[in-house]
Amino acid sequence: MRGIFSHPPALAVFFSTEMWERYGFYVVQSLLALYLSLHFKLPDTQTYGLVGSFTALTYISPIVGGWLADQYLGQKRTVLAGAVVLFLSYIVLASSHSLHGLDLALAMIAIGTGLLKPNISSLLGRQYKPGDPMRDSAFTIFYMGITTGIILGTLLPSKLQIWFGWHATFLSASFGLILAFFIFLFGTRILKVQDYANIQGSRLVNYGVALLGIIVLGIICFVVLSKPAVATTFFILVVAVSAIFVLSVACKEKGFQRRKSISFLLLCGVSVMFWAFYFQMFLALTLFITRAVQHKVFGILFPAPYYVSLESFGMIFFGLILAKVWSRMKPKNIAVVVAVKFSVALFLMFLAYGSILLTMQHYTQPGLLASWLILLAYLIISLSELMLSPVGLAAATQLSRPQVVSTMMGVFFVSLGAGGFLSGKLADIAALHGKSHSLAAIKLDYFHAFEKLTTMAFGAFIVGLIVAGIIYLITHRFARAA
């Protein structure tokens, strides 16, 4: 049975679930840097380090969530467990008044996200047969559900923070998770959505092992967030283990499937570079806009989280167009097409940073900087994200064997996590040092920082082109044979 837009009706359930889950997450994500800087008065380097580590954990933890679903819980139960953990995490965050309490809440958010995100994406991929051209369109529509949640999670919290304060704002995130939980629970039951996994063994033992895994993951997340010295070693280790896993999977495969797995690993490397620049929206760009950019657009107060909302509106607009374009494409060599799209995404990211740099050319003029080219940059970022993120989610299900698809989806999210951690390091380029800065000095510092970031974005684009060429070389013979 096919639903609206000729897609399975389960797409609407996954769309709505992710929309409300993303609302809760972006209440925190969009305000965290400001919360640390304005409420806790942390220096930029410490703020960037904590936000970068938190972002990384929320995208690295899905590899554990995917593994628990494949081996012990199944995708549906794991999604529901993630929703419960997220609900509790926002309660802890809203009631916490210390950095240790904040670290605990952020660790719980990372766990809940890891349980929910890879498995709902895997369930969506299961609704389509291999090679179905509607798959990319479905993931683009699904991503628009994510985007709708992001819009709500970046527009409403800024007002709630002004009216009711930080903690009431964070409490609002818990209500989104209540909706997500019940939409998914009843939607999957009514539509009889099936898991990927065929779980063996005692249910009680499986639940016990899964609970132990969640507790261990929580301890690790808390230690990484509360002890920055541990973070670098941990994230390098996770990336290395993920790469070794994909290579071990490829070694057990033959022919075209082996080459698809190797291509997937290369694509994850490109993904890391993209997200390192993308996540600056929640790091350097958030504080830059707050400190150095005009606070109103068309006479309306326009704080930094609203720029993320604009980016999300851009994704809806461009997503409607791209969903139709992708559904009409029937490529024979999926890996090469994905690699080309990834390269385009990096080029667009370079253009976005170039637009911001053009704004910085006026740093010598008095007063706050104009916002127009920065608004344009966020729209360009929205298009670049659509060229990579939903395409990457679809590629994880297209390039992987069904037996490992949830774990490989987790590996793709590890690339986001690695990019998130790297974004914290890149943000240090734009960190302001010292307690007193004149506006002129702030703008000068940011001008030099964005010169470096724009140059690095262009270098990432060149690397993306090289990777696309490598993937073409290792797969074109099989594509031609098909």
User: What confidence tens digit (pLDDT) does each residue in 364-375 have?
Assistant: 888 899 999 999
- Rounded to whole angstroms, the Cα distance separating 129 from 138 reads 12
Task: Please give the share of the chain, as a percent, with pLDDT higher than 90.
Answer: 52
Interstrand relation of 300-301 and 296-297 (parallel, antiparallel or unpaired): antiparallel
Q: Which of 4, 24, 35, 26 is nearest to 97 (CA)?
A: 35
Q: Tokens standing for 146?
A: 């994510």
Give the DSSP per-residue string, 162-196. Answer: HHH-HHHHHHHHHHHHHHHHHHHHHHHHHHTPPPS
List, for residues 438-469, the tens digit of each pLDDT value: 898 899 999 999 999 999 999 999 999 999 99
List, for residues 351-390, the tens digit of each pLDDT value: 999 999 998 887 788 889 999 999 999 999 999 999 998 8
Predicted local distance difference test score (pLDDT) of residue 326: 67
Q: Are 294 and 369 in contact (CB under 8 A)?
A: yes
Q: Which of 339, 338, 350 is nearest to 461 (CA)?
A: 350
Q: Are 50 and 170 in contact (CB under 8 A)?
A: no
What band does 72 get if pLDDT is binned at 50, 70 and 90? confident
Mean predicted confidence (pLDDT) in 190-211: 82
List, for residues 252-275, the tens digit of each pLDDT value: 888 788 888 899 999 999 999 999
What band does 435 get if pLDDT is binned at 50, 70 and 90? low
In 458-469, which positions are buried (b, 16+ CB within 10 angstroms) versus exposed (e)?
eebbeebbebbe
Q: Please, which residues bridge with residue 214 across strands?
A: none
Predicted local distance difference test score (pLDDT) of residue 330: 64
Predicted local distance difference test score (pLDDT) of residue 395: 84
More confident residue, 256 or 175: 175
What band does 127 get if pLDDT is binned at 50, 70 and 90? confident
Q: Are 367 and 292 in contact (CB under 8 A)?
A: no
- Rounded to whole angstroms, the Cα distance separating 318 from 328 reads 16
Residue type, 312: S
Q: Tokens standing for 379?
A: 């729209």
More confident residue, 227 or 459: 459
Three-state DSSP state, 372: helix
Mean predicted confidence (pLDDT) in 239-246: 92
Q: Are 373 and 356 in contact (CB under 8 A)?
A: yes
Q: Tokens standing for 298?
A: 């068309």
Mean predicted confidence (pLDDT) in 6-19: 85
pLDDT surpasses 60 at 160: yes
Q: Which of 403, 404, 384, 405 is nearest to 395 (CA)?
A: 405
More confident residue, 128 or 272: 272
Q: Are 143 and 386 in contact (CB under 8 A)?
A: yes
Q: Which of 123, 418, 112 is nearest to 265 (CA)?
A: 418
Q: Are 114 and 217 in contact (CB under 8 A)?
A: yes
Domains in the chain with CATH codes: 4-481 (1.20.1250.20)
Tell the burial category of 399 from Cβ atoms under 10 Å away from its Cβ (0-12, 13-18, 19+).
Answer: buried
Residue type, 388: L
- Rounded to whole angstroms, the Cα distance separating 227 from 53 reads 10
Show Cβ contacts of residue 357 under 8 Å, excluding neighbours closer than 6 positions. 447, 450, 451, 454
Lowest mean pLDDT segment, chosen from 82-86, 191-195, 477-481: 477-481
What band does 404 get if pLDDT is binned at 50, 70 and 90? confident
What H or E segment, with its residue span, contains residue 300?
A: strand 300-301
What band does 322 get if pLDDT is binned at 50, 70 and 90? confident
- Rounded to whole angstroms, the Cα distance separating 406 from 409 reads 5
Q: Please, which residues bridge with residue 369 across strands?
A: 293
Q: What is the residue-averaged pLDDT of the chain?
A: 88
Q: Please, which residues bridge with residue 459 across strands?
A: none
Q: Please, which residues bridge with residue 296 across strands?
A: 301
pLDDT surpasses 60 at 482: no
pLDDT surpasses 60 at 436: no
Q: Tokens standing for 281?
A: 């929206």
Show Cβ contacts of residue 174 under 8 Å, excluding neighbours closer than 6 positions. 24, 87, 90, 91, 94
What H or E segment, with its residue span, contains residue 64?
A: helix 62-68
Predicted local distance difference test score (pLDDT) of residue 355: 95
- Rounded to whole angstroms, the Cα distance separating 417 from 422 reads 8
Phi-psi region of 437 (alpha: psi -120 to 50; beta: other; left: phi over 0): beta
Predicted local distance difference test score (pLDDT) of residue 283: 96
Predicted TM-score (pTM) of the model is 0.87
Predicted local distance difference test score (pLDDT) of residue 3: 46
pLDDT surpasses 50 at 1: no
Neighbours of 39 (CB within 10 A): 14
